[in-house]
Structure 1
Amino acid sequence: MAPQAPSSVRAGPEHRVAVPLTLPKDLAPQVGGLEVEASGAAMGVTWTLKAITLPGLGAQVLARTVQDRLDRVVAEMSTWEPASHISAFNRAPAGAWQDLPEGFAQVMACALSMAALGQGAFDPTVGRVTDLWGFGPPGPVAVPPTDAMVDEARAQAGWTRLDFDPVGRRLRQPGGLGLDLSGIAKGFGVDEAAHALLRLGVRDFLLEVGGELRGEGLKPDGQPWWVALERLEGEVEGQAPILLALCGQSVATSGDYRRYMIHEERRLAHTLDPRTGRPSESGVACVSVLHAQAMVADAWCTLLSVVGAEEGLALCAAHDIPARFLVHTKRGLEERLSPAFQALLED
């Protein structure tokens, strides 16, 4: 996702425009609002905020609000933080139950639901495998792990090994299992920061965290928050760029061009297939998903990147998920749209 400055992005005849099928009933530009911008760093990425606010809620207040919420997610769910709740769980002995903060429990419930829906193609328990491939906290590796190393790590993984008590908000460590919520936690951070802004009374804003975006309300000129889907080198010509109107919507993007390792002149994507313990070979270069919740969009992106366009489009059709795929073909990168995404483009 390339979040161009909203002030410079407007829909025109050279674009394809994706607009939500339903909009809030009270959607109207704010009278007397002040345009402010804020930015910072959290979750290993940068974040930016463009908002329309009222006197007394300046950029510093909004920046502190966003930063506090993102830092809280890091403290709970970052495997890069030794003192985090998730790191404590990963160190826990077999059979130990760990109480979870409310947000952590929400993410676990969603993650396990997505794991069941994808029959293991999305799996939050492959932390040990992720580390082996050099994409986790231990850092990059010079060569890929051996088959024996991958098989051993996979034997300790598996979402069905987890006992999760959603009512009591607790999780049991079965022994040796490494949680990794990187495929969903950033989206949850976007949602948490957005909810905090809404509670402050900020109703019109565009928030971007590491390429995942959520838009609420309108800009002062009555335009929605327009966001352009990134165009990649190698895309087959003939398709106009897509602009998304983010009105109460989030968009997440996952791609094999962002993080990878090179081995024997092969590029191995950081997206791992939990079913094999190896980099995904689905042929998906990039997938973008729209959803009201950034957490859900984030998780769907991870799942669809693994299962590929054919199975992914079938899943999207069954669950009414708007998704846009860019798929590697002999001609270049070709676009595939789910029925729900196609409906957003139709007049």
Structure 2
Amino acid sequence: MGTSWSARIVDAPPDSAMAIEAVLNRVIAQMSNWEADSAISRFNAAPVGKWMALPADMMTVLRAGLYMARLSGGAFDPAVGRLVARWGFGPDGLTGLSAAPNHPAPWTAIEVEGDRARRTADVTLDFSGIAKGFAVDAVAMALHDLGATHFLVEIGGELRGQGVKPDLQPWWVDVEAPPGLFLPTLRIALCGLSVATSGDYRNFREVDGTRLSHSIDPKTGAPIANDVASVTVLHESAMLADAWATAIMILGQDRGMALATRQGIAACLMQRTASGGQEYMTPALAAMLE
């Protein structure tokens, strides 16, 4: 996934590291656009209209992605791969901008039936906004199955805490403000909770002095330009926290936080302003911090 992982486990069961790596290898084999023989790469290369049976984990992520696409009005889109590639954030890097794909809602060109799926138009799946979260959940489940009850799992900045530390303190996690924004650090306790952050300050390119975020708005076909620096979401599911952070990031402060508020999502948005930065919280998150 182009990132690192770590796990802190109290009284770690034997073979914990092997179990974690087996989970991650399975996720990569199914959902990595960087692996030519992965299930997602083979699906994207299949002829339009051809049904393909998908592995169980990949189908779980696809169904969750389509659910989030419907809920967010297409802001989160698991079939945004063509647009990601167009702006140089795919496996092939920057190859020169071509004409924008003429499909305003790529996710609507994905059909699912049982354990199989197909593309009805030339769109491609890209799970970069949800797969890391799924992997965190899958690792947590693998550790639980081994008998671990107290642990903190982290993959590329997405985390899940279960139980408590040896000193009986919760797994405290600090969510720092993006560089250049002088906002207070958000400290949260992960006890049976996951946290995911989407931001524009780690994966971006600058063109003629303009920062191009890796977060692509499917409606415009271009990187977002809404001054949102980061979005952090707490959820029982790391997969959904990951997807929600992406959706809110793309929708922006007004629409994104309004949707999160209606859905009872605990979210924090940090926005760039002329004076430095502004922080917004949903009522669900504010209640958790009281």
Specify the TM-score bucket, using the shorter chain as the normaliser: over 0.9
Aligned mates of 1:311, 1:130 — CA distance in 2: 23
Equivalent residue for 2:7? 49
After superposition, the C-alpha distances for 1:229-284 in whole angstroms (9 at most, x for unaligned) are 113333245x4x22110000000001010111111111111111011110001221
Counterparts of 1:75 and 1:284 in 2: how far apart (Å)? Answer: 33
- Picking from 155, 158, 173, the partner of 2:103 is 155
Offset at residue 156 of structure 1 (A)? 8.6
CA distance in 1, matches of 2:83, 2:186: 35
**Structure 1: segments with no counterpart, 5+ residues:** 1-42
1:47-86 pair list within 5 angstroms: 47-53=5-11, 57-58=13-14, 61-86=15-40
Within the candidate set 66, 77, 82, 1:123 is matched to 77
Contact 1:157 1:177 in 2 (8 A): no
Counterparts of 1:263 and 1:79, CA distance in 2:
25
**TM-score of the superposed pair, with normalisation by structure 1:** 0.81
Count of residue pairs brought into register by the alignment: 290
Work out whether 1:214 is the aligned partner of 2:214: no
Q: CA deviation at 1:328?
A: 1.0
Q: Distance in 1 between matches of 2:220 and 2:8?
A: 41
Instruction: Answer 1 or 2: higher relative contact order, Cα 8 Å, separation at least 6.
Output: 1
Q: Secondary structure at the match of 1:262?
A: strand
Of residues 130, 147, 157 in structure 2, which corresponds to 1:184? 130
Distance in 2 separating the partners of 1:72 and 1:195: 14
Question: What amino acid is aligned across from residue 42 of structure 2 in structure 1?
Answer: A
Which residue in the other structure is 2:191 paired with? 247
What corresponds to 1:34 in structure 2? none
* Alignment correspondent of 2:68: 114
1:287 maps to 231
Equivalent runs, 1:1-347 vs 2, <5 Å: 43-53=1-11, 57-58=13-14, 61-141=15-95, 145=97, 149-150=99-100, 153-155=101-103, 158-165=106-113, 168-236=114-182, 239=184, 241-346=185-290
Mapped partners of 1:183, 1:132: distance in 2: 17
Q: Distance in 2 between matches of 1:322 and 1:156?
A: 29
SS at match of 1:70: helix
Whole-angstrom distance in 2 between the partners of 1:154 and 1:338:
35
Q: 1:209 to 1:221 in 2, by over 3 A?
A: same
Consecutive unaligned residues of structure 2, counting only runs of 5 or more, are: none
What RMSD, in angstroms, separates the aligned Cα atoms of the two structures? Answer: 1.4
Q: Secondary structure at the match of 1:332?
A: coil
Q: Which residue of 2 aligns with 1:5?
A: none
Name the SS for the 1:53 alignment partner. Answer: coil
Overall identity of the aligned pairs, in %: 46
Question: What is the letter of the counterpart of residue 115 of structure 2?
Answer: R
TM superposition score normalised by structure 2? 0.96
